[in-house]
Each structure stands twice: as C-alpha cells, then as structure tokens.
Amino acid sequence: MTVDPLIELDHLVRLYGERPAVRGISLSVPPGEIFGLLGPNGAGKSTTIKMLATLLLPSAGTARIAGYDLVAQANEVRKVIGYVPEGADLYDVLTGEEFLDLVRDLHKVPPEIAAKRRAPLAEALELRRDLDRPTGEYSKGMRQKLLVMAALQHDPKVLLLDEPLDGLDVQAQEVLKSLLREHVAQGGCVVYSSHILEVVERLCHRVAILHRGAVAAVGAPDELMAQSGEESLSRLFLKITSGGETAQ
C-alpha cells in the first residue's frame, strides 16, 4: 500500500523580479519523514520554505501540502503547518504568553487544550517562567524557543523549520530534536532547512541539496554518499556546490 505524501512539489519556481531564486523544484515528503533542505547561502532554501509556509506565492509550478493546493487553499494549508521562521522579530511589547494566545486563537484551539500542550513544551524548553515577560526582553535563544512553541501548540501535521537551532543552547537543541522525532513517529513530517550539515546528516531521513535554486541531489544521506563515492555529506556538499555538478 502506498502512502500519500504530505508534501508534493512539482516544478516549483519563484522569481524575485527577473531573478530566479527557485528553479523548478520537484520533491515529495511522506509522513514519518524528516526531510532536510541543504544548500549554501542564496541556494533557495528559505524561499522554498517560505513558499511552503504560504508566505510567498510560487511564480510557476504547483505544490500540495496534506492534499491542499498551496495557492488555491492557502488557509487550509496554514491550518496543518507549523512554521519556525529564520530571524523573525516577535512583537516586543507582547509577553510570550500573549503571543502564544494570539497564535492559539488564530488556529481556533480551545484554551484548555492549548494549555495542556503548552505546559510540557514550556517545561522541556525551560521557558515556563519567562512566558509572562515581554518578548522584547528575551534573548535570541528564548525567542527561538517561543517560535518553536508557537509552531507546535496547534499540533500541525507538517513542520517547516528554517534554521531552527539558531541561538538555541545544546540542551534546547536536544529537546527540539527529540520533539521532531516524536512528531514524525506520530505520522507527521518535517522539512528542515539548515546549513549545519552534521545535524542534518544525523537527524534527517532524506536530504535535498539545493544549488542556485535547483535540486542538485536528493536522497538519504548514506545513499547519496555511497552513490557519489564521497566519505561525508560535507564533502559531497562541497563537490556539488563548488563544482556546479548536478547529481540528480
């Protein structure tokens, strides 16, 4: 029996003016998978994630998340995704609790259910005591933890993470990794964009290496290394992104 993928991209393109940032990416991510997006700066990782998060409209191509069309059913897509943006500024004058309440209400999650989900997350991420403080007083790591909580509290099927470990201490990184594993074990999927190869190699079931807006290689890290004859993902990454070779 084949399982329907939670994410399907078909020749997805995004232009910034005349300049292409993403050039015809086609991918699919099934339930139960952590999928890594790798690439150097400007490879199109964040643009791809932003399109999946409905923040940017594709210039061409189609995409579906949990069966919903990314453009025509954007709001349905938003109901099933959780998104952790890179470098997002929070509302400085709102407390962490108030921000989480805002997100909770947008997702129409009953307060008592949200509270049940929020408490263990806050405890695990060590943010419980800071939730009543204005986020303007948060450190970078605390802001990131709050964004992770906001992305998880409505129990989304699909998690879209753009450099999620940025600013997190080692303990919080481990907590987040275990949360992601737990999430996919329950039938969800994760798209994980990062340029930290070691983490992606250990955490992700499959990866796509993006180069100049296109998929240069896709597969399980072990398979990719075996196919290319490289002994590490970082060497393969360097080979692809510096030599311009496409190993689709």
Partner 1 sequence: MRLGDSLIRLFGADPDVFRPVYRAQTLILKRRARVVQRQRRGFWGTVSPFTLLCFFSGLYGLFFITLVVVAKSPLIGSGLALTLGMCFLFLVVATDNFDVLVNPRETLLLAAHPYDSRSFLLAKLAALGRSIGILTALLFGPSAVALSWAVSPLAGPAFFAGAAAASVATVTGGILIAAAIVRLKGRSAMEGMMPWMQGIFQVIYFIAIGGSGFVRLLNGTPEAVSALLWAVPSFWFLAPLELTLRGPEAAPLGRLALMAATLLLLLRVTIRWLGAGLRERLLEPEETRPRAVTRRRAAYGGGSERSRLFALLRIQLRSDWRTRSEFLLMPMMGIFFLLFYSTKRGNAALSMGVSTVFYVWLLIVSADVLTRSARPQTLWCLLTAPVDRTRLSLETIGMVRLFQLLPLLATSAAVQLWQAGVSLTSLAVLLQLLVLGDFVVIVGKAMFPEFPFSQPRIEGAVGGSRIALMLLGGLISGVTTGLLYVSRLFGNAGILATIAVLVLLRFPAWRVARRRAAAAAAHLELAAAATA
Q: Which residues bind partner 1 (CB under 8 A)?
A: 16, 50, 53-57, 75, 78-79, 81, 83, 85, 88-94, 98-99, 101-108, 134, 136-137, 160
Rounded CA separation 127/95 (Å): 12
Rounded CA separation 113/122 (Å): 14
What is the closest distance, in whole angstroms, from the C-beta atom of residue 151 to partner 1 in the complex?
Answer: 8
Q: How far apart are the first and last CA of the chain?
A: 27
* Nearest residue (CB) to partner 1, 22 versus 217: 22
Question: C-alpha angle 155/178/233, rounded to 5°?
Answer: 115
H-run or E-run covering 191? strand 189-193
* Nearest residue (CB) to partner 1, 2 versus 75: 75
* Nearest residue (CB) to partner 1, 27 versus 51: 51
Both tokens of 208, joined, read: 């796509």
What is the closest distance, in whole angstroms, from the C-beta atom of residue 168 to partner 1 in the complex?
Answer: 18
H-run or E-run covering 88? none
What is the closest distance, in whole angstroms, from the C-beta atom of residue 128 to partner 1 in the complex?
Answer: 21
- Residue keyed to tokens 């609790």: 97
What is the closest distance, in whole angstroms, from the C-beta atom of residue 105 to partner 1 in the complex?
Answer: 3
Both tokens of 62, joined, read: 């189609």
What is the closest distance, in whole angstroms, from the C-beta atom of residue 83 to partner 1 in the complex?
Answer: 4
* Nearest residue (CB) to partner 1, 89 versus 231: 89
* Nearest residue (CB) to partner 1, 81 versus 224: 81
Phi, psi of 91, rounded to the nearest 5 degrees: -70, 110
